[in-house]
């Protein structure tokens, strides 16, 4: 079975499973989306949402975080891993947004990836969910499932993103990457399925008998 045939199976099954896709992170605007994605590094979305639900009603603009300062930001997010590093990034990116972009989040990869603490994946999520540009952010779930489905060799996250963009039509990217994340959390988990038991794995690789060892992101 070639990758184009697999892509049709995957899209059909995911649309059936997740006709409406819930957004994993809660946010109020593009800026708070950026902050939440930054906070989610090495941290669960649930933990991020539990922390930000007490922050965003009062602090949801770059100027708010500039006025708070690093130490107060640290206290607000101290339940999140590597909170000091993240607080520093949030403070300085907020300062840049206020001084250079009039408090607005820029809508280009180049500008986003120049902000403190913002890498390609974070920029991709903001471009996709914040601005509606076609993007395919690859997290650990997507990286794992793409390997289990035989769509990439899993050499690295960048290669996985490139491979998936070549396989799936651009019009599906924004919805599809979220569907794959949810499917990876609920049906094709890291310590379950192993490429041989879930519906998509069995459909894409029907002759597979042994578990698949995937490379980590």
Instruction: Give the pLDDT band of residue 155 (cuts 50, 70, 90).
Output: confident
Range of the domain at 77: 30-130
On whether both 108 and 187 belong to a single domain, the answer is no
Is residue 215 assigned to a domain? no
Six token digits for residue 82: 């590597």
Alpha-carbon span 124 to 140, nearest angstrom: 15
- Among residues 81, 104, 130, the one where a domain terminates is 130
Cα–Cα distance for residue pair 106/125, rounded to 1 Å = 13
Residues 16, 76 within the same domain: no
**Residue 104: inside a domain:** yes
Residue 168 lies in a domain: yes
Q: Specify whether 163 is catalytic.
A: no
Give yes or no: residues 118 and 38 share one domain: yes
What is the per-residue pLDDT for 31? 98
Q: Which of 139, 170, 192, 202 is catalytic?
A: 139
- For residues 35 and 116, membership in a common domain is answered with yes
Residue appearing with tokens 């107060």: 72
For position 189, what pLDDT does the model report? 95
Is there a domain that residue 216 lies in? no
Q: How many separate domains does the chain show?
A: 2
User: Does the structure show a pLDDT above 80 at 180?
Assistant: yes
Catalytic residue among 6, 86, 121, 163: 121
Residue-wise pLDDT for 29-43, tens only, equals: 999 999 999 999 989
Active site residue 162: no
- How many angstroms separate the CA atoms of 165 and 135, rounded? 9
5-10 own/partner pairs: CB under 8 Å, 24+ apart: 6/149, 6/150, 6/151, 6/167, 6/204, 7/167, 7/168, 9/200, 9/203, 9/204, 10/149, 10/200, 10/204
Task: Check residue 43 and give its pLDDT.
Answer: 92
Predicted confidence (pLDDT) per residue in 73-83, tens digit: 999 999 999 99
């Amino acid at each position: 079975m070639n990758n184009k045939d697999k892509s049709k199976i995957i899209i059909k099954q995911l649309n059936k499973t997740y006709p409406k896709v819930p957004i994993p992170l809660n946010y109020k605007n593009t800026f708070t989306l950026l902050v939440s994605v930054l906070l989610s590094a090495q941290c669960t979305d649930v933990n991020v949402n539990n922390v930000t639900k007490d922050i965003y009603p009062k602090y949801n603009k770059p100027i708010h975080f500039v006025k708070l300062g690093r130490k107060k930001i640290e206290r607000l997010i101290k339940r999140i891993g590597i909170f000091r590093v993240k607080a520093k990034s949030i403070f300085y990116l907020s300062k840049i947004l206020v001084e250079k972009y009039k408090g607005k989040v820029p809508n280009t990869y180049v500008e986003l990836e120049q902000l403190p603490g913002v890498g390609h994946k974070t920029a991709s999520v903001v471009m996709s969910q914040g601005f509606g540009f076609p993007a395919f952010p690859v997290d650990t779930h997507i990286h794992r499932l793409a390997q289990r489905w035989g769509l990439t060799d899993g050499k690295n996250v960048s290669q996985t993103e490139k491979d998936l963009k070549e396989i799936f039509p651009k019009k599906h990217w924004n919805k599809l990457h979220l569907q794959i994340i949810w499917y990876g959390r609920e049906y094709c988990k890291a310590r379950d399925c192993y490429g041989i038991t879930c519906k998509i794995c069995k459909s894409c690789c029907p002759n597979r008998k042994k578990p698949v060892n995937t490379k980590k992101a």
